[in-house]
Amino acid sequence: MTTAQRPTLEAVARRAGVSRATVSRVVNGSTTVAEPIREAVHRAVAELGYVPNLAARSLVTQRTDSVALVMPEAATRVFSDDQVFPGIIRGAALELEAADKQLVLMLAGSRAGHERVERYTTGRHVDGVLFASLHGADPLPGRLTRLGIPVVCSGRPLGDASVPYVDVDHVGGVTRAVQHLIDGGRRRIATIAGPQDMVGGIERLAGYQAAVTSAGLPEWVAYGDFTRESGVAAMRRLLAEHPDLDAVFAASDLMAHAALRTLRTAGRRVPDDVAVVGFDDIETAAYTEPPLTTVRQPIQEIGRRMTRQLLRLAAGEPIEPAVVLPTELILRDSA
């Protein structure tokens, strides 16, 4: 039995009626070849089933056709019921699939993981790097940018203002949510704030503070880390310290879910006794008891937009250094 030979570059050239060099330029993504010729080459590639040699292509183009998505979180957090992470991954993957590029997911929830990411990305194994869920003034995005590696972050980086990012209007969204509570007659409004080493946690707390201060109301704050477990502990703390509270804004839907459960266990009716508002509008927000009023952020669109920005950077095109997407207050029965 003989094994069929793989189609060669020469065979594609013969089928397309062009030179081998022209086929090579088209396959390697050159934009200097006229559109009708590019179409003829692509048609010949499809008809023959030609598969480019990716290693050789990388040598010629200095591109890997791969993009890293770095999440400085533990695997147990990324692959939990927090739908923010899969939403960003899905958005990035859709854009990269459309661009015929690969996604490399890298977790950096430990020092060893962070060092591994730095070695891999500075070794030019990818054409660019997306960062999501940054904590503190992480120096790596800025360091990679100064090395000429395209970088885009999800959320405004706290450490380096020169790094491009895509974020949402945290402050505006939370201000509208708290104002909705005030307009509904609530005057003892507490918050379960997010971690203060993340821009989302910082700005959502700032939005709450601005709204209650403007209305002359007290600030009642307990801190969580965007997880259900931290939401339970924070809600218990708020009930112990401020048993007369009549509303809670939680800086994530998971913490809001926990607040609903904790209030129910404590015998508080939602929204009759205590109104609850979350942030994210994850899928399960519409199915809590009662359904959760929340601030919607376009999670998947964040992943798509930051990926489009990165691909433009990698192609040498100008981009907006700061993109802020709108948020929307979604009214349901909890407030």
- Weakest-pLDDT range from 6-15, 37-46, 55-64, 269-278: 55-64
Domain 9-52 part of CATH 3.90.700.10: no
Q: For residues 42-56, give the mean pLDDT.
A: 75
pLDDT at residue 29 in the model? 63
Task: Give pLDDT tens digits for 180-238.
Answer: 999 999 999 999 999 999 999 999 999 999 999 999 999 999 999 999 999 999 999 99
pTM above 0.75, yes or no: yes
Half-sphere exposure of 125 (CA within 13 A, CB side): 14
Local confidence band at 115 (pLDDT 50, 70, 90 cut-offs): confident
pLDDT at residue 164 in the model? 94
Task: Give pLDDT tens digits for 77-97.
Answer: 777 777 888 999 999 999 999
Q: For residues 35-41, give the mean pLDDT.
A: 86
pLDDT at residue 3 in the model? 47
Q: For residues 147-158, give the mean pLDDT.
A: 91
Q: Please determine, for residue 138, whether its predicted confidence score (pLDDT) is greater than 90.
A: no
Domain 170-296 in the same topology as domain 66-168+300-326: yes
Peptide bond into 271 cis (omega under 30): yes
Peptide bond into 321 cis (omega under 30): no
Q: Indicate the average pLDDT of the chain.
A: 90
Best CA proximity match to 82, nearest among 179, 184, 217, 227:
227
Q: For residues 40-67, give the mean pLDDT.
A: 72
Homologous superfamily of 170-296? Response regulator (3.40.50.2300)
- Weakest-pLDDT range from 115-119, 242-246, 247-251: 115-119
Q: Please determine, for residue 63, whether its predicted confidence score (pLDDT) is greater than 80.
A: no
Local confidence band at 52 (pLDDT 50, 70, 90 cut-offs): low
Q: What is the CATH number of domain 66-168+300-326?
A: 3.40.50.2300
Instruction: Indicate the domain borders of the chain.
Output: 9-52, 66-168+300-326, 170-296
Q: Please determine, for residue 55, whether its predicted confidence score (pLDDT) is greater than 60.
A: no
Q: For residues 43-57, give the mean pLDDT.
A: 73
Instruction: Give the DSSP H/E element, type plus range, for residue 128.
Output: strand 128-132
Quote the distance between the C-alpha of residue 35 and its chain's center. 35
Task: Give pLDDT tens digits for 284-326.
Answer: 999 999 999 999 999 999 999 999 999 999 888 899 999 999 9
Neighbours of 185 (CB within 10 A): 9
